[in-house]
Structure 1
Amino acid sequence: MPSPSPPLHPFLATVLTLCIAAGGGLVATALNLPAGWLMGGALAVTLAAMWGLPVMLTDRLRDITFVLVGMSMGATVAPDSLSLIPTWPLSLLALALELAIIIAISGWVLSRVFRLDPGTAYLSSFPGHLSFIIGIAATGIGNARQIVIIQVIRILMLTIAVPIGATFLPIAHFSPPAASAFLSPLQLVLLAAGCVAVGALFLKFKVPAGMVLGSMAAATAAKLGGLYTEAMPVPLVTMTFVLTGALIGSRFAGISRREFLAAAKGGLVATMVAVSVVTVMAGVVAQFVDMPFGQIWLGLSPGALEGMGALGIALGYDTAFIAAHHVIRLLMLSFAIPAVAVLVQRRAQRAQESHNLPPSSTR
């Protein structure tokens, strides 16, 4: 394995990461892959991290990325998208059912087939809410390092799989509506300020993915309220995709190839389980609601909100539907994760007590 590169100043490491992401996005876009700037950037930065290059995004730039993703999602919400809300209960029911199936099957496979301890197996199987999961793991439940690798593999594979699926499978994608007018610099500054303010408020109240959701809420409210009708400038949207790809790929920083390979099989299998379950559920829902299969799939997908939201923009889908389902998924997981963690911990305690019981005396 190549030796890790000497540490760089955070600014230089960030510039290097953005250049790699932009280069990967440019190649993928030149190959006419859907969401090329996002998928290509994520894959390029991941490979760079695996090769030992010092990739990273500063916390400030990460927050800027979240704001830009939220702004872009809010700016693409169509006023008539809210008329589809009556069809959401069926897809939300499918979402709840698929979460239970994914966690049960993935947890069983990781523990029985890959011999991970139950804490690591089941915390790795939760489709989302990574920061919450790591917080639970930090209390001593499971191997936090393995959990991170498996979860990040899931996020990366979904980011890559969706555009490839849109290219080679019968999953329609739609070019975003051609804009005739774009937000002016002053409008962008005012909209960004509102997005940051609402995002900070969401974070204060500990809303999951608060900066992304807060930014989207502000941008959506402003658009539906008639404060603007223009679209986001294309260069800014492209920059958002590059930043999001860099953010996804940089999560592999500090993970050696040996660590990655040790957890890769389990991570890939868990991701395949999740993708299979989501695909079946999306197929069932698509029989009863009038919306694109790909849009339903993204709404039910177990990927990161910022990544799936950016893919929704790139593929021309209704971001309101996608964001709403990811919010509900995070809320469901907020209750499910601690409940399963308690069950796993109690099971381990019972096994330990049973193991420590003195042998019964014989007469």
Structure 2
Amino acid sequence: MPARPPILDLLSWNILFTLIIAVVGGWAFHRLGLPLPWMMGAMALTMLAAMLGMPLRRTRPLRPPFAAVIGVTLGSAFQPAVLGQGAAWVVVMAATALVTMLCGGLGYLYLRRVAGFDPVTAYFAGMPSGIQEMTLQGGLAGGDERQIALVHSTRIFLLVMVVPLLYAATYGVRSTGSPLLSHSISELGAIDWSWLILAGAIGWPLGKRIGLPNPAMIGPLIISAILHLTGIAKAAPPSVLILISQVVLGSALGSGFLGTKWGLVRHAFLHGLVLVPILCAICVTVAIVAAPLAGLPWSVVFLPMAPGGAAEMSLIALALHAEVALVTSSQLVRILMINLGATAVFRLLRLTKT
């Protein structure tokens, strides 16, 4: 009997059911007027359905092409005017590097001393980086992949849920009106579409070839940023495509809890409810100190260094009308810094103990 083509696995009825749940969640949050509704709502309702044992399917295999859309969108925020903000960017990048080291070290100490994780699991679970990269590296080093993935999922989930709500309550901002979320399909001409498609078509395989973390998003983001910084490309993807991508990304985060026992989730959430505010307090403190040097409000400086996922925190900046290019660049610095350095530092520490 011939093997079932992998693409057919993505066309099953429970994948469709999962996406319907995600759309309903996004629509409900949109009706409630919550910030970043399509991703937050999709994530929240999909996670709830997964924990209740509904017949869902993990949608992470669907994520890469839609992550590419997000990458191209975020890259379009890099307009030529950004080149004149060099001094502020240097300060924020330096602050991000400092926060990354502080959060990584404190995350390890908390998970090792308080949560009782083994050293390898605590190390890779404590790094404020992406789920997939840290789970893979931690598993190869001998850590518990399930615990690592769950801790990172919880951290990102809590930050994505809480940060937009706090900003909306404090500053009254809403996730409408952003220039990058106001394009209709009819506004884009053939040349616009050509450059946007080219950014994704070249950036994704190039990112994989040179070993970038999350190549489906970061590769297109870099190519899109170059095209927009040089003025070659001027448009962003249409808003409907961005919203669909947010739904898929939200469903991927929520459905990641599928098959996880309530006890494990409760354990991760309890520690997350303690650890995430501590990490945020570090970010806020550094942001308050760095803000006068950067000439920006501390609330703007906080988002670039917030220890969430690069795609998720950049989308929050997009929804809250923050400095999208600055947030995206700083988040990439954090992700690259951890992915390039975490394993090397771990091996060095292990060698010094042998």
TM-score, normalised on structure 1? 0.84
- Unpaired runs of 5+ residues, structure 1, are 1-7, 351-363
Check if 1:22 corresponds to 2:27: no
* 1:158-217 CA-partner distances (Å, limit 9, x unpaired): 111121111223486784138587324673355224322222111110012222122122
Which residue is 1:78 aligned to?
79
RMSD: 2.6
Separation of aligned partners in 2, 1:190 and 1:91 = 30
- 1:53-92 correspondence to structure 2 within 5 Å: 53=54, 54-57=56-59, 59=61, 61-92=62-93
Tell me what 2:188 maps to. 183
Match of 2:3 in 1: none
Instruction: Give the CA deviation at 1:73.
Output: 1.0
Deviation at 1:300, TM superposition (A): 0.7
Once the two structures are TM-superposed, the CA of residue 292 in structure 1 deviates from its matched residue by 4.6
2:259 match: 254
Deviation at 1:148?
0.9
- Deviation track 1:262-307 (CA, whole Å, cap 9, x = no partner) reads 3322233222222221122222222222335443222111111111
CA distance in structure 2 between the partners assigned to 1:106 and 1:74 by the alignment: 30
1:98-148 CA-to-partner distances (Å, cap 9, x unmatched) read 122212222222222222222222221100043332233223533221111
Deviation per residue, 1:219-262 (Å, 9 max, x gap): 23333343443443222222122122122222223322222123
What secondary structure, in the 3-state scheme, does the structure 2 residue paired with 1:141 have? coil
For the 8 Å contact 1:72–1:313, the answer to whether it is kept is no
What SS class does the counterpart of residue 238 from structure 1 fall into? helix
Name the residue aligned to 2:159: 158
Quick one: distance in 2 between partners of 1:58 and 1:241?
Answer: 13
Report the counterpart of residue 205 of structure 2 in structure 1. Answer: 200
What residue in structure 2 maps to residue 273 of structure 1? 278
Alignment of 1:131-150 (within 5 A): 131-150=132-151
SS of 1:258's equivalent in the other structure is helix
Q: Does the C-alpha gap of structure 1 residues 31 and 253 become closer, same or farther in structure 2, counting only changes over 3 Å?
A: same
Measured in 1, the distance between the counterparts of 2:28 and 2:151 equals: 27
Partner SS for 1:287: helix
Contact kept? 2:121, 2:144, Cα under 8 Å: yes
Distance between the aligned counterparts of 2:15 and 2:311, measured in 1?
Answer: 19
Residue 136 of structure 1 aligns to which amino acid in structure 2?
Answer: Q
What is the aligned partner in structure 1 of residue 288 from structure 2? 283
Equivalent AA in structure 2 for residue 35 of structure 1: L
SS in 1 for 2:346: helix
Q: Which moved more, 1:154-163 or 1:97-106?
A: 97-106
In 1, distance between residues paired with 2:248 and 2:124? 28
1:356: which partner in 2? none
Matches within 5 A, 1:1-363: 10-11=10-11, 12-53=13-54, 54-57=56-59, 59=61, 61-170=62-171, 175-177=177-179, 182-184=187-189, 187-188=192-193, 190-342=195-347, 345=350
Computing the radius of gyration from Cα coordinates, the structure with the larger value is: 1
How does the TM-score come out when normalised to structure 2? 0.86
Question: Which region of structure 1 is more displaced relative to structure 2, 32-41 or 223-232?
Answer: 223-232
Deviates more, 1:220-229 or 1:195-204: 220-229
Provide, for residues 85-110 of structure 1, a one-character-per-residue CA deviation record: whole Å limited to 9, x for no partner. 22222212211221222122222222
How many angstroms does 1:151 deviate by? 0.8
Q: How has the CA–CA distance of structure 1 residues 219 and 103 changed in structure 2, closer, same or farther, with 3 Å as cutoff?
A: closer
Distance in 2 (CA, whole Å) between partners of 1:294 and 1:163 is 12
- CA-to-partner distance for each residue in 1:29-52, whole Å, 9 max, x for gaps? 111111111211111111122222
Q: Distance in 1 between matches of 2:115 and 2:170?
A: 30
Call closer, same or farther: CA 1:329–1:280 in 2, change over 3 Å: same
CA contact (8 A) 2:68 2:220 kept: yes
Question: Secondary structure of the equivalent of 1:138?
Answer: helix
**Corresponding letter in the other structure for 1:336:** G
Amino acid aligned to 2:333:
I
5+ residue gaps, structure 2, are 1-7
| Aligned equivalents of 1:185, 1:52: Cα separation in 2 | 45
CA distance in 1, matches of 2:74, 2:299: 17
